[in-house]
Amino acid sequence: MAKVQFKTYTPNEIVLFPSNLGERIPKDHPVRLLSRIVDGLDLTELIRTYKSGGTTPFHPRMLLKVVFYAYMNNIYSCRKIEDAMNWNIQYMWLSGNQHPSFSTINRFRSEHMKDCVNRLFIQVVKIMVALGQVSLDVQYIDGTKIESVANKYTFVWKKATLTNKAKLEEKIKSVLRQIDEGIAQDNAPSKEEGAATDAIDSEHLQQLIDKVNEENSRLAQGSKEDKEKARQRQKAVNKLQKHQEKLKEYEDKLDTMGFRNSYSKTDPDATFMRMKEDAMNNGQTKPGYNLQIGTENQYITNFAFYRNPMDSTTLPSFLTLDQARWGKLPKEVCADSGYGSEQNYEFMENNGIEAYVKYNWFHKEQHRPFRNDPFRMENMYYNREDDYYVCPMGQHMEHVGHNKSVSDNGYISWIDTYRAQRCEGCPLRGQCFKGKGNRTINVNHQLRRYKEKAFERLTSERGLFHRSKRPVEPEAVFGQIKTDKQYKRFRHRGFSKIQMDFGILAMAFNLQKLIKNVGKDQIKAVMEAFSALFGLFLASLWPLWKKFRKGESSVNKNRQLSNRNLIAA
C-alpha cells in the first residue's frame, strides 16, 4: 500500500500572506467596486477638516473606504473595525495594510465626517442617478422612531417642570412678603413692563436679592433694632437664594426643551417617544429621534431627524431639504395617512407636487356602511352657491360661524359652522344626533377640497401603482435597516452625531444595493465621467444647502423664543 502524501504545513513561516493582498480577492468582489466608487468621490471638504502640524494622519479616503465597508457588513463599533483590519484580508486590502487605532477611527467619524456627511451623501445619490437607478422625481416618504443611547429613566417632562416652577414661584412670593413690602414694591416691575402676569424670573430675583443684601449691610451698621431686622431678613434671603438657584434650573430645563414635551438628561437632544420595539409591551416611552426617509427603488434619496414624534408636521421641512440637496422638489410624493394634513396638502399644491398621500378614513369612507350613512356630514348635500348643507330630512343647515383654528406648529385653519333651523320633533333625530338643541356641524372646506383631490389621485391608475409600491419602498428599507443591518439603536449622543452616523449608514446601504444591481463595467464608465462633472454640481448646490441650514437654525430659535414667551405669559 502506497504511503499517503500531504501538502507541506509550516505554521511558523515568516511570510504567510501573498506579496500582493489583491491576489486573494476576486476581481468582481464588492470590495473592489466600493474602492473604485470612493476613489471617484470629491473629498475636498473632508480634507479641509484636517490641520497641518503634528504627526502625519491617515488618508481620509482610506478611512472612508474602511468605514463604508464596515457599515455594509453590520460592523459599527470602532474597536470591531480595528480588529477586522488586523485579520480580515479585505479590510487589509482597502487600508493598504495600515492599522489605525479605534480612537483614530472614532475621531474620523465624530470630528471629520460630522460636517461632511451631507455632501458625501449627495455625491453617492448622484452616482445612482447617473447609473439610472433613481430619478429624484418620485419619493416615497415614511418615518420611524429610533432609540437613543441615553438612559430611559433620565426623563424631564415639561408638564412636571411647569407645575414645580409655579409652586416655587408661590414660595418665592411668600418669602418676599416676609422681607419687606416696601423693598419688594420698589423693585417689582411696573404693569407696563408686564407685572400683570405675576411672572418671576431668576435674573430679576437675583437683582432683588442683591438689593436686599445691600440694605442689610447698611442696617448691620445701625442700631440694635436695625441689626436684629437685618438678621431676620438674612434668613429669608438665604431661602431666596436657594429658590433662585432652583428657579434658574427650571428655566434652563424649559429652554433646553424648547417646543418639545420632554428630553433626556443624558442626551438633551432626544425626546421621549413610544417605540414599536417595546420589549415589555407596556407602551413605555423611551428617548429617541423621529427619522424620516425618502426612497426610490429602495434607495435612500433623502433623510432627516426630528425631535417631534408626530410625522404630520415634518413634511414641509423634509421636502425643503430636498430642494436644498438636489436643487429641485420631487414631482410625485407618496406617503401614508400620517402625512394627510391640510398644511402638507397646501405645501405640495403650492409647489406643484402631485400628492399621492392618504388621509384619515381614506379606506373607511369607501366601505358600504360609511357610504350609506346619510347622517354623516361627509354624505350630506352641500350647495356651494348659497353655502348651506341639507340634512337627511331636507332641512337647510345655514352658515352661522367662521372661526380660526391654530395647530401646535402655528398653522392656521378656518372652520365654518353650520346649524339646522329646527330639530325639535324630527322623526330622525334619534339616529341623527343625541345632543341638545339643533344639530351643528363644523367643516374645513379647504381640507375637504384637498381630500377630494387626493381621493381622485389615489384611485387613479397611477395612484394604484404608487399605493401598491409604497409598502415595499420605505417600509422595506426600514425592515432591512433594523433587521438585516441590526441598526435599532443609536450609539452616539447629540443631534449632529446621530446624523453623521446614520448618514454613513445610508451611504453604505445605497452603495451595497448599487453594487448588487449594477455591473462593474458600468460603474467604471460612470465614475470616470462623474468625477469630472461633480465639482460643478456641488458648487451650484452649496449655497442652497447653507441657506437651508441657516433657515432651520432660525426656525428653531423662533420656536424656543415663542415657547419662552408662552411660559412667561
Q: Are 133 and 517 in contact (CB under 8 A)?
A: yes
- The pLDDT assigned to 192 comes to 38
Q: Are 438 and 343 in contact (CB under 8 A)?
A: no
- The pLDDT assigned to 469 comes to 92
Nearest to 308 by CA among 296, 299, 318, 294: 318
- The pLDDT assigned to 419 comes to 92
Helices 342-350 & 315-326 angle (0-180, nearest 10): 30
- The pLDDT assigned to 10 comes to 61
- Strands 138-147, 332-335: pairing kind: parallel
> Alpha helix locations (H) across 459-494?
461-469, 474-479
Count of residues in the chain? 569
The rounded distance, in Å, linking the Cα atoms of 461 and 470 is 14
The rounded distance, in Å, linking the Cα atoms of 364 and 378 is 12
49-63 pLDDT, tens digit each: 888 877 888 999 999
166-175 pLDDT, tens digit each: 999 888 888 8
Please state the three-class secondary structure of 148-184 as a single string: CCCCCCCEEEHHHHHHHHHHHHHHHHHHHHHHCHHHH
The rounded distance, in Å, linking the Cα atoms of 303 and 144 is 11
Please state the three-class secondary structure of 285-346 as a single string: EEEEEEEEEEEECCEEEEEEEECCCCCCCCHHHHHHHHHHHHCCCCCEEEECHHHCCHHHHH
Nearest to 316 by CA among 336, 344, 295: 344
Query: What are residue 304's phi and psi, to 5 degrees?
Result: -160, 155
- The pLDDT assigned to 209 comes to 81
Residues of the chain with pLDDT under 70: 1, 6-19, 180-199, 220, 224, 277-283, 519-569
- The pLDDT assigned to 120 comes to 93
- The pLDDT assigned to 199 comes to 66
Residue whose grid cell is 416615497: 140
Would you say the C-alpha torsion 308, 314, 320, 322 has a positive or negative sign?
Answer: positive
- The pLDDT assigned to 453 comes to 93
pTM assigned to the model = 0.82
Counting Cα atoms < 13 Å in the Cβ hemisphere of 466 gives: 24
Helix, strand or coil for residue 14? coil
Tell the burial category of 483 from Cβ atoms under 10 Å away from its Cβ (0-12, 13-18, 19+).
exposed
